[in-house]
């Protein structure tokens, strides 16, 4: 019998290895950017076409490669970064497996141009599916340019498996941002389909974060600093008030490498305990410096997970550092009973012009009198004085506020625009400010008020968008949103549908990350705008369904969810009845847009059954 075991040809082995390293265009972006960082570049440009499906190119000003190295770089396990297994435990570079370029070249067309500073000419190499097609000397600036074209051209299954351009673009931007945040001292540029999405000069960490996330974040950053024998921590968390619905802006960097770590994430969330609104997430940008010998990066092929030798220790240090910063920068709330009420601003004076404080001199003060005694007397006097005026300070305050024209209590703002005022004969009442109980012709209906309203709004929005019949309320003062440049792009791509619901945007200032809103859907309350837009962006960033219908569907769902009356809100009888009426004119009253039950119905039989003995 013939022996049947054969060694796989190199290009096949490379293609198989490529499956692990190159999952999508964003993986190529990550490998190329990291190689440029390892080559000590001070500036790099990422050029992408069609979300990386047509072209991904990184141009750097790093140390470049000699002709031999340029050729070697595409061999599997070819790396200049480690030479022995021990080196694995003392890594100071991003790469070390020597697989990336070989894998990329196995599944694409690669054009490499590279030159070392000390050499006159550079080298140009063309490779297609692991095969070297050409290698020539060339004129080139110092540094390296690698262009990856037609990714997965020879693996149609992979190519077809890629998501929509928007999703792939999102992944690319994510990888770009991670590398750029990890290296504020390096200049970065990202150009997609000819548009410059990011232009980040060499900078400090704070400026880099602002450059990527948008100006709004600046005043919300709380710095963090801690140094122990074990670890050095620096970076920023954001103020609790800036917390977002999405978990997007959370970054850990260990020795300037982006990592994910749910355990350390938990340490931060713990430090925020009690400071966040439910379902919101703080942003953070945490840089950890630790001896490479005490971590193991090699446990995951794409290297975003690492293992720490002393995870418990790091957890404790991180949590206390975050807590400390939140406290120090006065963003934790002061406990009420510790607060000196006399320091609080009186509502009535808040809007009036501030009066200059008077300097009061104790004219009877005699420095030659027996000091301790007189001091005691004064403080006792002040004490009494305080008690005698305390009540007068607050008396009449509530009346004043209620009578004042420019002060409106939240409970006085009625959702009138949501309901009209027609009379109804139905009998309804509210239970636990959460459920509406109503009689029906055959029994009793118990309705979840939030879900019911969500269903009603959802159908309204969807029909407005599809019939292009949304009503807009023009804002007297346009609101401006400060967003990052990719968020502006995203909003712009959604604006057509959003405008059908009544939004009016002005993107003319979008260059500086500012979008003005001139009009909003007539049902939306101005104070909800930021929340709705924030959630819209977060949701769509996570992946946009492609067909127009799905998109309008999502849009209507998100807006309905945010604008529906909350559980816990007390409703007047007419409001309860309006909800019931509107709900039962819906196409699908029984489930919420996210398929949760909206009401239960008990008919006579069911009720009788309860009392049957």
Q: Using CA atoms, how far apart are residues 128 and 28, in angstroms rounded to an integer?
A: 16
- Smallest gap from Cβ 18 to ligand ADP, in A, equals 11
Residue 298 binds ligand ADP, judged by CB under 6 A: no
- Tell me the window of 30-38, 223-231, 238-246, 471-479 that interacts with Mg ion (CB under 5 A): 30-38
Q: Which residue is nearest to Mg ion (CB)?
A: 95
Name the token pair of 483.
């967003």
Query: 39 or 564, CB closer to Mg ion?
Result: 39
Residue 123 binds ligand ADP, judged by CB under 6 A: no
Query: 65 or 224, CB closer to ligand ADP?
Result: 65
Q: Using CA atoms, how far apart are residues 535 and 605, in angstroms rounded to an integer?
A: 44
62 binds, among Mg ion, ligand ADP, none (CB under 5 to 8 A by kind): ligand ADP
- Smallest gap from Cβ 59 to ligand ADP, in A, equals 9
Who's near 298: CB < 8 A, 6+ residues apart? 88
DSSP for 115-164? E-TT-SSEEEEEEETTEEEEEEEE---SEEEEEEESTTTT-HHHHHH---
Using CB under 6 A, pick the residue from 18, 22, 101, 544 that binds ligand ADP.
101
Query: 74 or 458, CB closer to ligand ADP?
Result: 74
Residue 95 binds Mg ion, judged by CB under 5 A: yes
Query: 100 or 559, CB closer to Mg ion?
Result: 100
Q: Using CA atoms, how far apart are residues 144 and 287, in angstroms rounded to an integer?
A: 28
Residue with structure tokens 């929005």? 461
The burial of 56, by beta-carbon neighbours within 10 Å (0-12 exposed, 13-18 middle, 19 or more buried), is given as buried
- Tell me the window of 100-108, 115-123, 309-317, 464-472 that interacts with Mg ion (CB under 5 A): 100-108
Please say whether the beta carbons of 78 and 54 come within 8 A.
no
How many other CB atoms sit within 10 Å of the CB of residue 548?
12
- Tell me the window of 29-37, 306-314, 533-541, 590-598 that interacts with ligand ADP (CB under 6 A): 29-37
Parallel, antiparallel, or unpaired for β 187-192 and 43-49?
Answer: parallel
Please say whether the beta carbons of 430 and 569 come within 8 A.
no
Residue 100 binds Mg ion, judged by CB under 5 A: yes
- Tell me the window of 99-107, 177-185, 265-273, 355-363 that interacts with ligand ADP (CB under 6 A): 99-107
- Smallest gap from Cβ 187 to Mg ion, in A, equals 20
Where in 358-417 is the site for Mg ion (CB under 5 A)? none
- Smallest gap from Cβ 96 to Mg ion, in A, equals 8
Q: Using CA atoms, how far apart are residues 231 and 218, in angstroms rounded to an integer?
A: 26
Closest by CA position to 450, among listed 299, 356, 563, 612: 563
Query: 80 or 463, CB closer to ligand ADP?
Result: 80
Residue 35 binds ligand ADP, judged by CB under 6 A: yes
Query: 118 or 336, CB closer to ligand ADP?
Result: 118
Where in 36-95 is the site for ligand ADP (CB under 6 A)? 36, 39, 60, 62-65, 73, 78-81, 95
- Smallest gap from Cβ 259 to ligand ADP, in A, equals 17
- Smallest gap from Cβ 42 to ligand ADP, in A, equals 13
CA dihedral 413, 414, 415, 417 (to 10 degrees): -100
Using CB under 6 A, pick the residue from 96, 152, 176, 253 that binds ligand ADP.
96
Give the per-residue SS3 of 379-431: HHHHHHHHHHHHHHHHCCHHHHHHHCCCCCCHHHCCCHHHCCCCCCCCCEEEE
Closest by CA position to 272, among listed 304, 224, 226, 310: 224
- Smallest gap from Cβ 469 to Mg ion, in A, equals 54
Query: 97 or 244, CB closer to ligand ADP?
Result: 97
Residue with structure tokens 């879900």? 451
3-state secondary structure (DSSP) of residue 558: helix
Residue 142 binds ligand ADP, judged by CB under 6 A: no
Who's near 194: CB < 8 A, 6+ residues apart? none
Name the token pair of 88.
């694995």
249 binds, among Mg ion, ligand ADP, none (CB under 5 to 8 A by kind): none
End-to-end CA separation in angstroms for the chain: 83
Please say whether the beta carbons of 47 and 57 come within 8 A.
yes
Please say whether the beta carbons of 483 and 491 come within 8 A.
yes
Query: 80 or 573, CB closer to ligand ADP?
Result: 80
Query: 132 or 401, CB closer to ligand ADP?
Result: 132
- Tell me the window of 11-19, 92-100, 300-308, 486-494 that interacts with Mg ion (CB under 5 A): 92-100
- Smallest gap from Cβ 72 to ligand ADP, in A, equals 7
- Smallest gap from Cβ 56 to Mg ion, in A, equals 14
265 binds, among ligand ADP, Mg ion, none (CB under 5 to 8 A by kind): none
39 binds, among ligand ADP, Mg ion, none (CB under 5 to 8 A by kind): ligand ADP
CA dihedral 322, 324, 329, 331 (to 10 degrees): 70
- Smallest gap from Cβ 81 to ligand ADP, in A, equals 5
- Tell me the window of 18-26, 97-105, 375-383, 583-591 that interacts with Mg ion (CB under 5 A): 97-105
Angle at Cα 247 formed by Cα 508 and Cα 34, nearest 5°? 80
Distance from the Cα of residue 160 to its chain's centroid: 29
Residue 35 binds Mg ion, judged by CB under 5 A: yes
96 binds, among Mg ion, ligand ADP, none (CB under 5 to 8 A by kind): ligand ADP
Who's near 564: CB < 8 A, 6+ residues apart? 450, 451, 453, 454, 456, 457
Where in 521-540 is the site for Mg ion (CB under 5 A)? none
Query: Which spans of this chain sit near Mg ion (rule: CB under 5 A)?
Result: 35, 95, 100
Query: Which spans of this chain sit near ligand ADP (rule: CB under 6 A)?
Result: 31, 35-36, 39, 60, 62-65, 73, 78-81, 95-102, 144
């Amino acid at each position: 019998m013939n022996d049947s075991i054969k060694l796989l040809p190199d290009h096949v082995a490379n293609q198989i290895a490529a499956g692990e390293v190159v999952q999508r265009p964003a993986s190529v972006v990550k490998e190329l950017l990291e190689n440029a960082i390892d080559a000590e570049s001070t500036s790099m440009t990422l050029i992408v076409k069609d979300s990386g499906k047509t072209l991904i190119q990184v141009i750097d000003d790093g140390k470049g490669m000699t002709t031999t190295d340029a050729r070697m770089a595409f061999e599997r396990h070819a790396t200049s970064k480690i030479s022995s297994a021990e080196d694995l435990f003392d890594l100071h570079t991003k790469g070390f497996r020597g697989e990336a370029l070989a894998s990329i070249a196995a599944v694409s067309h690669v054009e490499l141009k590279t030159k070392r500073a000390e050499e006159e000419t550079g080298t140009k190499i063309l490779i297609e599916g692991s095969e070297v097609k050409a290698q020539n000397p060339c004129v080139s600036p110092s540094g390296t340019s690698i262009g990856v074209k037609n990714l997965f051209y020879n693996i149609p299954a992979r190519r077809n498996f890629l998501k929509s351009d928007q999703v792939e673009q999102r992944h690319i931007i994510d990888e770009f941002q991670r590398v750029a945040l990890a290296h504020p001292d390096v200049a970065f540029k990202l150009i997609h389909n000819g548009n410059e999405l990011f232009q980040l000069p060499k900078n400090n960490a704070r400026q880099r974060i602002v450059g990527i996330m948008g100006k709004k974040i600046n005043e919300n950053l709380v710095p963090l600093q801690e140094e122990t024998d074990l670890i050095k921590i620096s970076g920023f968390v954001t103020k609790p008030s800036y917390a977002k619905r999405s978990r997007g802006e959370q970054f850990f960097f260990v020795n300037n490498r982006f990592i994910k770590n749910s355990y350390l994430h938990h340490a931060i969330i713990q430090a925020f305990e009690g400071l966040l609104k439910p379902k919101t997430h703080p942003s953070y940008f945490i840089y950890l410096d630790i001896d490479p010998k005490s971590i193991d990066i090699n446990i995951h092929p794409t290297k975003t997970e690492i293992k720490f030798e002393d995870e418990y220790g790091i957890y404790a240090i991180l949590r206390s550092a975050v807590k400390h910063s939140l406290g120090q920068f006065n963003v934790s709330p002061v406990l009420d009973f510790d607060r000196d009420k006399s320091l609080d601003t009186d509502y009535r004076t808040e809007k009036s012009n501030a009066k200059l404080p008077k300097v009061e001199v104790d004219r009877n003060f005699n420095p030659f009198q027996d000091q301790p005694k007189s001091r005691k007397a004064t403080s006792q006097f002040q004490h009494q004085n305080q008690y005698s005026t305390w009540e007068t300070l607050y008396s009449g305050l509530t009346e004043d506020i209620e009578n004042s024209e420019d002060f409106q209590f939240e409970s006085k703002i009625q959702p009138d625009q949501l309901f009209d005022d027609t009379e109804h004969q139905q009998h309804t009442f509210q239970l636990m400010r959460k459920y509406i109980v109503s009689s029906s012709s055959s029994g009793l209906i118990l309705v979840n008020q939030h879900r019911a309203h969500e269903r009603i709004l959802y159908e309204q929005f969807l029909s407005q968008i599809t019939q292009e019949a949304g009503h807009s309320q023009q804002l007297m003062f346009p609101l401006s949103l400060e967003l990052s440049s990719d968020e502006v792009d995203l909003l712009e791509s959604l604006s057509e549908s959003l405008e059908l619901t009544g939004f009016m945007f002005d993107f003319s200032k979008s260059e500086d990350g500012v979008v003005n809103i001139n009009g909003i859907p007539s049902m939306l309350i101005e104070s909800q705008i930021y929340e709705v837009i924030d959630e819209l962006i977060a949701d769509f960033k996570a992946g946009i369904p492609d067909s127009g219908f799905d998109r309008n569907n999502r849009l209507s769902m998100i807006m309905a969810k945010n604008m529906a009356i909350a559980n816990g809100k007390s409703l007047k009888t007419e409001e309860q009845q309006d909800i019931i009426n509107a709900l039962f004119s819906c196409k699908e009253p029984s489930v919420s847009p996210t398929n949760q039950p909206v009401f239960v119905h008990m008919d006579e039989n069911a009720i009788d059954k309860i009392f049957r003995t």
